[in-house]
């Protein structure tokens, strides 16, 4: 067996939709783009990349506002259209069509790109992130989802950056460790602290939430999708796999209900003992699921 060390990690800077993004590339084979969520950065994918790099060309960016990527000052720069355009620019770098994998905000963004631009996504893998149409339904109709999503309101409050930075980012560390369910190594802990300590990073990360239209989903008749799909129906043409840790405190398991009305070619793996950070809890299992899914559907 070829060791993953044979495929060294490359750190690059790429111009996306008007911003420079720090990206990490590893491996050889069909292209796969990996999108992290809040409050992570590219390194959350590192254990998965080490297991997939023998078969795939993997790219994991620091998304705009995060870690070593640019941090525009304007709130408008974190709107969903800008985020989608970043992903499309990276897809073009990878050759114009690729498998798209996302977790949390990265998963919501992956759903959105696949719905708006189906020709650019060969396969879709989403880890603990609801389909935009189902999420809008949940926010409108499910008190449990509204309660679970109340953290979004708190993250948009004035001065929350200072609160999150207190005591060496203790609240953020508790978040990614799922209140003790996930154990970070000393190296992972230092990586997280270094990313959150980048000038302007906390404000930029929070601006993803401030620029999103979550409030509109909670009033009146609500909205059709969160994030906005810009007129797309929400239909996902690509073969799709959803991985779900059932102990997720942000997205109840009900987010999986009725998915096939939008996602006809769907595979779902539920992990009863997993939480929101399934990537950190069970990276070997996540990598295995991704490898089996992409290998079985390579000709689709």
User: CA distances (Å), 201 to each of 161, 165, 170, in order?
Assistant: 9, 11, 16
Residue 104: active-site member? yes
3-state secondary structure of 163: helix
Distance of alpha carbon 216 from alpha carbon 220, whole angstroms: 8
Q: Residue for token digits 């909670």?
A: 218
Out of 40, 66, 209, 248, which one is annotated catalytic? 209
CB 293 within 8 A of CB 125: yes
Out of 104, 178, 228, 248, which one is annotated catalytic? 104
Q: Is the peptide bond before 76 cis (omega within 30 degrees of 0)?
A: no
Distance of alpha carbon 207 from alpha carbon 186, whole angstroms: 28
Tell me phi and psi for residue 61, to 5 degrees: -85, 155
Residue 209: active-site member? yes
Residue 168: active-site member? no
Active site residues: 104, 209, 276
């Amino acid at each position: 067996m070829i060791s993953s060390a044979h495929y060294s990690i490359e750190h690059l800077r790429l111009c996306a939709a008007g911003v420079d993004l720090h990206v990490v590339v590893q491996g050889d084979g069909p292209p796969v783009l990996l999108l992290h969520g809040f409050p992570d950065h590219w390194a959350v994918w590192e254990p998965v990349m080490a297991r997939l790099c023998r078969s795939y060309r993997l790219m994991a960016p620091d998304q705009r506002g995060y870690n070593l990527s640019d941090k525009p000052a304007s709130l408008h720069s974190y709107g969903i259209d800008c985020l989608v355009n970043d992903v499309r620019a990276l897809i073009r770098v990878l050759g114009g069509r690729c498998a798209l994998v996302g977790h949390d905000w990265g998963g919501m963004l992956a759903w959105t790109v696949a719905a708006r631009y189906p020709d650019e996504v060969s396969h879709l893998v989403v880890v603990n992130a609801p389909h935009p149409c189902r999420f809008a339904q949940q926010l409108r109709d499910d008190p449990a989802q509204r309660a679970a999503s109340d953290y979004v309101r708190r993250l948009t409050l004035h001065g929350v950056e200072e609160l999150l930075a207190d005591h060496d980012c203790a609240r953020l560390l508790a978040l990614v460790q799922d209140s003790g369910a996930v154990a970070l190594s000393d190296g992972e802990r230092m990586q997280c602290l270094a990313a959150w300590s980048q000038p302007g990073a906390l404000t930029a990360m929070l601006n993803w939430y401030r620029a999103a239209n979550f409030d509109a989903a909670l009033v009146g008749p609500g909205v059709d999708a969160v994030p906005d799909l810009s007129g797309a129906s929400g239909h996902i043409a690509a073969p799709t796999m959803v991985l779900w840790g059932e102990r997720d405190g942000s997205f109840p398991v009900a987010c999986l209900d009725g998915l096939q009305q939008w996602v006809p070619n769907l595979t779902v793996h539920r992990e009863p003992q997993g939480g929101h950070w399934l990537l950190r809890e069970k990276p070997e299992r996540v990598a295995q699921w991704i490898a089996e899914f992409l290998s079985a559907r390579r000709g689709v």
